[in-house]
Structure 1
């Protein structure tokens, strides 16, 4: 009976640990690391995770590069729609406890969790993408989204036939409003008489707007029905629905975000109607942080990836911008030299 009790207890403990791991989110790499001296990198994705064809995939590319270059072991955990702040806390804590260093949180939704967990592990370097923490052992990886979006606005204005242009944001948060503001300014600076319709898929703490392709498709269809012929969607995974809808309307263009969506296997069939994508090089930020930790000089504080530094850009896939490249280059030069100051709010 005594042996049976111990065996049963072991099973119970194992089950409890499994449940805890599940609560932390899905893992695409179950490696728990080892004690052989290898670098161990922990990645906590936003909703949608690896395979979202957008924001998280950009971060994943940086992780993959670091893994290959440094022979590192990695563990990837993913947030779930509707999860609590405690879930994000637990996800980061489990990676820090597991010996992963750095631990990188992808997305502004992790700010409170980083603020809470990072100070508890002062010897671990944390990365926070798209928000800013004051913790001393955190590198805040942020981008000038409005600058890349401005260039997209210029392109949209020059390519639109009827000067009717649309913007779909995933959630009406300050971060996404930066995209909207820059885009709108780029359009109106280029064609003052153009109109820009701005629509958000969800509001406040409801983050479903980042992971609902059906909502993105419906919003885009509504705009197309009103005669809008260029639509920029900064909506994470929901943007795929917008791109699909636009592809079904002759003469219309979509603009992707975060990754070169015309090259994404799941969206490449729509490449002929994807004008360009506003790329945030999250992969560069992720890799730079990992390399700094590997070199023994961890980055801390705010690391801003601007247009001038190549942190944001427009993709040239399909040569759809070829006929307007001169105008885009002129706009870029003016932003970089300060002649144009791009707004962050509409």
Structure 2
């Protein structure tokens, strides 16, 4: 395994898979996505099995130039049992994906991930969630899971801070508390710290007004990096792409679900920018103006920076169609992931 520069947490949805596919090979090789299956309560077992196989297969096919993890953190006991039938240990053979488990998971999910790791002997992700204050209770279960692995099996620590917005100023301190306990537990292959920082649109979100929010997750990362702890200097950065961390836990909407408008998003060094964009060809002029507001930013990097910037330039000039929710999500994630990876030298 080459050590990734960046770990984006991506949902196993078509727009995210399409965004990953659209990244240049040099970016793909230097990032390692943590793919996350969404919850699907109420699905009949057969339908759920087919859906899991489809999404996992799409993700696996997309991984031509790099590796990643595949996780089902929201599976309840019923879904975990179906997961074991859909993604048997043999399914993982010869794929560029590692299984993931962690404290607090259903026994069937933990057993599947551990069985795959023992079978392949090339990696397991240990995802430890930290949505608020660190609780030492996760330590003992993490140790129990590690004890069920052969000593030779590499393990990656995925410390998931979940949502980190400006209203969570102590996130870095809690992350450091967790790392002080978790890092000594084993010889981790990699240690990744992930956080979701893109905000939901504000309640007064309206067309014609560009909304800006600080990158609180990035500020948290910098505070961790500058903490003075020498053994934390090789941490790997992760985030939730252009969606809030809560998006990963949402039940996917039906084909015709969702609001009649969407969001164009753009990441700069210190800010996240959101522009409301209406859906439908009759709103073409308004849609183009939403893209123009982003291209007029002082920090807009121009069409040479990547496919995300090129699409925004083309849309602002009417050179491409207005798009839809899937397109806007794909373009936003391509821009965000390309920018973040290159911030780390990718």
TM-score, normalisation: structure 2 = 0.32
